[in-house]
Structure 1
Amino acid sequence: MTTTYFSDLIVEFLHQQDIDTVVFNPGASFRGVHDSLVHAENAGIAPDIVMACHEEIAVAIAHGYHKASGRHMGVFVHANVGLLHASMAIFNAWCDRVPLFILGGNGPVDAGKRRPWIDWIHTSQNIESVVKDYVKWCDQPIGQRATVESLTRAFKLMNTPMHAPVFVALDFDTQEEPLREGVRLLPAGATEPTRLPPLDQETLGYLSERLLASRMPVLIVDFSGRDPRTVAPLVALAEALGLAVVDRGNRLNFPNTHPLNVSHTGTEVLADADLVIALEVQDLVGALGAFLPLTNQGTPANGAELVTIGFNELLTSKWAADYQQFVPVDRSIAADTGASIAALRSLAEDPAGPFATEAFTERRTERTETLAAVHTRARAQWSLQSQELKNREHIHVAGALDEIHRAVRDEEWVLTNTGSLTIDGWVKKLWPLERPGSYLGLNGGGGLGYGLGASVGAALAHREDDTLCIDLQADGDFLYTPSALWTLAAQDAPLLVVVMNNRLYLNSTQHAERIAGHRDRDIDRAHIATSFYDHPVDFVSMARSYGVHALPRVEKIGDVAPTIREAVAHLKAHRKPVLVEILMD
């Protein structure tokens, strides 16, 4: 009779929760689970394995996979050293509010069962303390029944708003024990997340009164698009009420080509805002300050009323201040995002409702026309700027991005990563971000090393369809985790990597220039220890060494679009990754 081990039950749990892929860099502390994943008798239930060369890459792969698909990829990390490697990527996911199911090896906690040396240095008391301040929940269970309960609780909690990573340590000895009699999984439905209610009638009445009275209501969005199903209803709501929309862009929340979207316009028309509704906005002060003068408390100096709808207060770290500055808003509402949008939309579109009056319709029409004119003027100016910048001797990021889009505009593309604030800012001005899920946002925590791994994960999520996954990859971020190229090649993940190579840590260079200028010192020395000018990296050769097809480096603006087209044709023909390096200012 074949012996069943507890690690086999862990694999059964992954199958029960529809986790069809796991990712890890191998480590002895979860060798029991590893054996169960590859055991022939578990082939019918075991998830596929994606091997990464570093735990930071493994977590980033799962991060990008979830953002692209809404599905979970399980992550395993080696005892303490692996968790320490993974910690940066876990922090990114925490700030990005992405639920990741992270399981770590540890132990044996029973010191009498440890092998000399290695089991001692790779066993930790309270191993979860490494990440406890930036995961939603963590545990170090000992014993089989306790571990089953911890796995179930962790899975439930990570999917309950606010979403965030969870971590469970798996004791080395517990994994390798034969399954004890009577130990079994809890029902699959036990992990169903707790759900928030929609807006109640009193709150709907309150918002209705404020919206009816407002001359210039502004809707700020930030994370609502994590559920792509909210985009179309949000557009309908904005149109029904004539709302000015400012998209902070941590997801694709609202089409940037829609005439009510006045993000990044710097327009004075929003200076008249008298009601601001912030929907799942993380940095409220930053969002408000983009278009309104603020008091030192972060509130609008013009007295505009502030209402927040979201979950920020339901999840705060005692260690990281990602919760941002406290703002004394007029009303803070915790409610389900999709259901709340639907309730507001139903009220706004009710032909017998409060917004059906002739007076409101006239005011909405006038406001909509004003906002549309601002939107159209801004987008025309941005397009003109990008064309003018193409005349520079060296390639400018705006010109490159415009040319890249020209080459892929007829494809159904997804931007898996936009690399840096500079690249991201121009993307939002020049690319039509319209399809829900076609833009996945930045890294969340500002931690370099995210882009390539997350893009591999997104490409794996789209491996079975014809979507063109595009990673607009900053060179500095790339150099943190270049071995992600190995996983990219090994998995044949259909990803177009476009390395936007300015041979700089641009943000650090800009800070160096700024401080030198403030001190009346030589800003020409700002590139020292912030650039790769003296020892440039050959990304084309690097990619080829890992087995990734790479085209010759692009150094002229006129070569950008033809090279991208060639890369896309190769990717579509072979469904394998391609890398293009663009040398730019």
Structure 2
Amino acid sequence: MVAENTGNTPSRPLPPSPEKLEWGSDAVAWTLRSLPIDFIALNPGASYRGLHDSLVNVLEDTAPEMLVCLHEEHAVAMAHGYAKVTGRPMAVALHSNVGLMHGSMAIYNAWCDRAPMLILGATGPVDANLRRPWIDWIHTSQDQAALIRPFIKWDNQPASVEAAVESILRGWQATIRRPQGPVYICLDVSLQEKALDKPLSLPDPSRFAPGEPPVPSAGKLDTAAQMIRAARNPVILAGRVSRDSADWAKRVKLAERLGATVMTDLKIAAAFPTDHPLHPLPPAFRLDSAAVHLISEADLIISLDWLDLGGTLYTVWPDGKPSAKIIHASLDDYGMNGWAMNHQRMAPVDLALDGTPESTVDGLLERMESTAAVNTQSSYQRPPLPSQTGVFDLLALATTLASTLENRDVSYLRLPLGWPSSTSTFRHPLDYLGYDGGAGIGSGPGMVIGSALALRGSSRLPVAVLGDGDLMMGANALWTAARHKIPVLIIVANNRAYYNDVAHQETVAINRSRDVENKWVGQRLDDPAIDLASIARAQGFQAEGPILDEESFRTALKKAITAVENGQPALLDVVVKAGYMSGVVDFNSDSHSDGNK
């Protein structure tokens, strides 16, 4: 899963010798140092004051380095964004039950997006006799992890220092095993502040590394190869796949060897070059009529952990009986539970390959070696770029951005719902990092700063396009980027409304024969307009706005790019006409506001 050459690979000092560990939290810090954890994001809290002291005075705020956040939700979101680039977990520290409740939305996003992270929580003394009056009581809860257990992979509340060391090692194993996801370990404040009366017998962390993920059986892969040879019009749905460029090249090789048309999804990270002749349709958040037609004509569909395969197939074949044969390579069902419905609709599949998409691609390339290269031009016509409307809208913003950035090595860290993706070209796994997983608005600022952290020191220009609602829900995450010198360019597509909800209200009004003009009531972020640039400048960003036209945007964009290339974070508040391109969003099938707010 690791995306190579991000530029953020600091050398790691050795863990301190056991004789230097004096307190329980020192042992926790020792374990963090022994694992490849570069950062720990936190909002300071007294429930883990012991651990905080150990991070500062035993580890000297290095490996992991503390990232100070102004809200727990941003701390979790930063770890999520970091994992999107590196495939590796960051650590997060949350202050007792109250910090966990603050961070829970971001944890759900990470769970839905299969993002690894090691979350260290804390609680007041479990032993009631040790609790300080008032504050320790309201910061102590029984079975604290019950708050988030439906959307984490594993949790533990160790009762001894030795058990805490083992718990962190087990949590590390669990979070990086596929399918990945967050884990939670709750550390009693008394355990952290327990004095050690003798040196601990500490384990060798290298002996607790997880094994390789399972691969499909040889027999199943043989069957898949036979199905492919019999197909005349195969389609590959490239979903949640490895970010490694070598795996990217193998996917291209497989598609070319099979002559298979490829589709990708804008909800998840780039998985295939979008300008390749076998990738005729731009990635989208939902299927449009062209995508439905393309899939309906396939006689074989190869799903590489496609997000919501069942929903896709039922959209194309409403009776749930696809005319195409379906091969599905995924381990996602191994992470399924009965509370979170993010496993999506059950898909009718002819051949299930229990393994990673990468192991499936490797196995198919081995079996298809004798097949001569076939037509590498899809039979589907690439749609033309949409026509400009003559007003400064999301399309004008996107085309201006694309033309200004075309000669740079760009990573799009986030793009909003309604984005005209035909204006963007992705040719590398880091060119686009996907959406937020759980559609929990407010994640954008923290997540893109975490991704930019992972890219710091690389040749890539980190760029994010956020909605104004998303930015305002998480605006104080910006300070962490300035504080820790994380260069990132954030462009706010500001329609001064919770526009996705506006469109929903329009749909309801039409369905009920009511006044469509009332759709704006309770939705506008105006009168007064929010000064987004001032909010950013107050936290250390170079910022400009409101920007009202294309030429002003182009001028401000060039200035902001220079600032980011010089190591500064920058934000542009760009006011755009509210609206989506036709066919981008179906408001009869969506629920909570998840769009370009």
Q: Deviations over 1:31-79 (max 9, x none)?
A: 000001111x432865211100000000001111111223332100000
1:57 corresponds in structure 2 to 74
Task: Please state whether the residue corresponding to 2:535 is helix, strand or coil.
Answer: helix
Distance of aligned partners of 1:271 and 1:282 in 2 relative to their CA distance in 1, 3 Å threshold: closer
The answer to whether the Cα contact below 8 Å between 1:402 and 1:430 also exists between their aligned partners in 2 is: yes
Task: Quote the residue 1:527 is aligned against.
Answer: 520
How far apart are the structure 2 equivalents of 1:3 and 1:69?
Answer: 31
- In the alignment, residue 575 of structure 2 is paired with which amino acid? L
| CA distance in 2 between partners of 1:272 and 1:109 (Å) | 61
Write the distance in 2 (CA, Å) between the matches of 1:321 and 1:66: 23
Counterpart for residue 101 of structure 1: 118
1:27 corresponds to 2:19:
no
| Total equivalences in the alignment | 551
Q: Of 401, 416, 422, which aligns to 2:418?
A: 422
Query: Hey, what's the Cα distance between the residues in 1 that align with 2:97 and 2:534?
Result: 34
How much does 1:2 deviate? 6.6
Correspondence 1:52-91 to 2 at 5 A: 52-91=69-108
8 Å CA contact 1:225, 1:254 repeated in 2: no
Distance verdict in 2 for CA 1:157–1:173, change over 3 Å: same
Deviation at 1:441, TM superposition (A): 0.4
- Which amino acid is 1:536 matched to? A
Aligned to 2:437: 444
- Aligned residue for 2:547, secondary structure, equals coil
SS at 2:184 equivalent: strand
Counterpart-to-counterpart distance in 2, 1:239 and 1:399: 34
C-alpha distance in 2 between matches for 1:160 and 1:187: 19
The 1:308/1:266 distance shift into structure 2, 3 A limit, reads closer
The 3 A distance-change label for structure 1 pair 370 and 455 is closer
Aligned twin of 1:280? 305
Q: Which residue, out of 56, 61, 72, partners 1:38? A: 56
Partner of 1:188: 205
**CA distance 1:177–1:269, shift in 2 (3 Å):** closer
Find the aligned partners of 1:106 and 1:194 in 2 and give their Cα distance: 32
Contact 1:299-1:329 at 8 Å conserved across structures? no
Confirm whether residue 307 of structure 1 aligns to residue 327 of structure 2.
yes
TM-score by length of 2: 0.89
Is the 1:412–1:468 contact (alpha carbons within 8 Å) kept by the matching residues of 2?
yes
SS in 2 for 1:53: coil
Other-structure match for 1:561 = 554
The answer for the alignment partner of 1:336 in structure 2 is 356
2:556 partner letter: T
Q: What SS does the aligned partner of 2:568 have?
A: coil
Higher helix share: 1
- Counterparts of 1:382-393 in structure 2, within 5 Å, are 383=385, 385=386, 387-389=387-389, 391-392=390-391
Q: 1:49 to 1:269 in 2, by over 3 A?
A: closer
CA deviation after TM superposition for structure 1 residue 305, in Å = 1.3
* Paired residues of 2:74 and 2:443 also in contact (CA < 8 A): yes
Deviations 1:533-576 (Å, cap 9, x if unpaired)? 3332111111111121112421012222222111111222x311
State the alpha-carbon separation in 1 of the partners of residues 164 and 325 from structure 2: 48
Q: Structure 2: which amino acid aligns with 1:217?
A: P
Can you list the C-alpha shifts for 1:430-483, whole angstroms capped at 9, x where unaligned?
111111212110000000111110111111112222321111111111111111
Cα gap change, 1:122 to 1:370, in 2 (>3 Å): closer
Q: Which amino acid aligns with 1:323?
A: H
**Equivalences for residues 354-433 of structure 1 within 5 A:** 355-356=371-372, 364-365=374-375, 368-371=376-379, 373-375=380-382, 378=383, 381=384, 383=385, 385=386, 387-389=387-389, 391-392=390-391, 395-418=392-415, 420-423=416-419, 426=420, 428-433=421-426
**What is the aligned partner in structure 1 of residue 586 from structure 2?**
none
Task: Select which of 333, 341, 345 maps to 1:325.
Answer: 345
CA spacing shift, 1:42–1:78, aligned 2, 3 Å: same
Secondary structure of the structure 2 residue equivalent to 1:551:
strand
1:460 corresponds to: 453
What residue is the counterpart of 1:293 in the other structure?
317
* Structure 1 runs not aligned, ≥5 long: none
Q: Which residue of 2 aligns with 1:471?
A: 464
Q: 1:157 to 1:190 in 2, by over 3 A?
A: farther
Aligned to 1:517: 510
C-alpha distance after superposition, 1:66-117 (max 9, x if no partner):
1122333210000000000000000000000001110001121111111000
Give percent identity, aligned residues only.
33
Contact 1:397 1:584 in 2 (8 A): yes
Q: Following the alignment from structure 2 to structure 1, what is the Cα–Cα distance between the partners of residues 346 and 21?
A: 56
Tell me whether 1:179 sits opposite 2:196 in the alignment.
yes
